[in-house]
Structure 1
């Protein structure tokens, strides 16, 4: 069965825009609920779909974080070219790393980091994420158990240079956190893996701005935008966006 990959989406609302970023092996489906909610609250939302994501795991490994970062930059420019001067950036997981990097390199009104693995110092766990994604994807394709096992074994032998690149781009972003001058919201699931729980306070303490907050979600794991507390996540993002000063010049 040929699966249809999720796509980038733009939801037009008011003059204030939000760049919304998904994570590694994820897709715009992970942030669609949040995007739709923010549109109803008067925000224009654009969520780019990264190259290689939403398709086969083999296709994903043919791309890398520089490709995905280029999609993020294209998403930011998409909003700019559409006439939106006031932009905040919101991301989850690797998308949160990208949201922090956007805050380091581009004028933004606010930065929201959800479950960012900024303290990642190795590729441990990255292939596990890809492997789990592959099992689910191949199952949805309707492949037999033997076919899935054989393809997963082949996947283990596939070059994985892009995973090393994820570690590198995360490290570079971590080193430049002091460059962020916009208001900051850090959001973290309390049931998430240790690397993410360690990263949340590190990000909060590394960014020297007066307007910042950190929120923990006691019943949530990693993808908090689709977890038990997803409604509260939406409300907290909206509250942050409503209360930052959009009038300050970038």
Structure 2
């Protein structure tokens, strides 16, 4: 079976633009439902895919935060090239970290980090998630049980230096939260077992934004954009975006 490789998307819904950023080992599908919702409500949305994502995990190991950040910047510039001078940024997990980073380095109307880690104590869970994702992809490719086991065994022996580099990225953003001045909505699933949920409170307390809001979703886990409260999340994000200053 051939696995269809995910692609970036651009949904053109209006003059206001939102850059949507996916999570670690994820792809644009992480934020597609949110993008379609915002498109229907008058927003143009673009979601890039970082290098090494949406492909076998073996390829991800040969990329790193610098490559992914470059793709975030290219996504931001893509919206600029479409004529959007005012852009908000919204990201899940790693995408939420990049949302905060973008708010420190570029002009954004607002930032929406969702389940974004700023306390990097989840490396073991990340590796376990990578191995689970690798197994899923190999099974979808139609490989037999023995072949999957052999390839996973080989993958397990690879140096996962990408995790240490990701930790440095997260720690770095955690130390620069005071440089975030844009209006910010922090969304966090109460049942998130992947990251340290104290990150949400850390972001709220340390960013310099005059307009900031921390919203907990009591029934949601880490993949909040797929969770049982995704419709409420969509509505909350829309309300936040509507309250931003989009005037030139």
Shorter-chain TM-score tier: over 0.9
Aligned length: 248
- TM-score (ref. length: structure 2): 0.97
Of 173-182 and 193-202, more deviation after overlay is shown by 193-202
Matched, 1:50 2:84: no
Partners of 1:220 and 1:39 in 2: CA distance: 24
Displacement after TM superposition at 1:123 (Å)? 2.6
Name stretches of at least 5 consecutive residues in structure 2 with no aligned partner: none
CA RMSD in angstroms comes to: 1.2
1:97-176 equivalent positions in 2, closer than 5 A: 97-121=97-121, 123-176=123-176
Give the SS at the match of 1:124.
helix
User: Which residue matches 1:209?
Assistant: 209
Q: Which residue of 1 aligns with 2:38?
A: 38
Using structure 1 for the length normalisation, give the TM-score.
0.96
Deviation at 1:194, TM superposition (A): 6.9
Counterpart Cα distance in 1 of 2:79 and 2:196? 29
What is the CA–CA distance in structure 1 between the aligned matches of 2:156 and 2:187, rounded to whole Å? 33
**1:110-132 C-alpha deviation (Å, 9 max, x unpaired):** 00010011111463322111011
Within 5 Å, give how 1:234-245 maps onto structure 2: 234-245=234-245
Whether contact under 8 Å (2:15, 2:84) holds in the other structure is yes
Q: What is the match of residue 179 of structure 2?
A: 179
> How far is 1:179 from its partner?
0.8
Q: What is aligned with 1:84?
A: 84
What per-residue deviation string (whole Å, max 9, x for no partner) do you get for residues 194-226 of structure 1? 733110110011112221111111111001111
Distance 2:125 2:104 in 1: 26
Give CA deviations for 1:107-157 in whole Å, capped at 9, x if unaligned.
000000100111114633221110111111111111111111111110111
Does structure 2 conserve the Cα–Cα contact (< 8 Å) formed by 1:116 and 1:196?
Answer: no
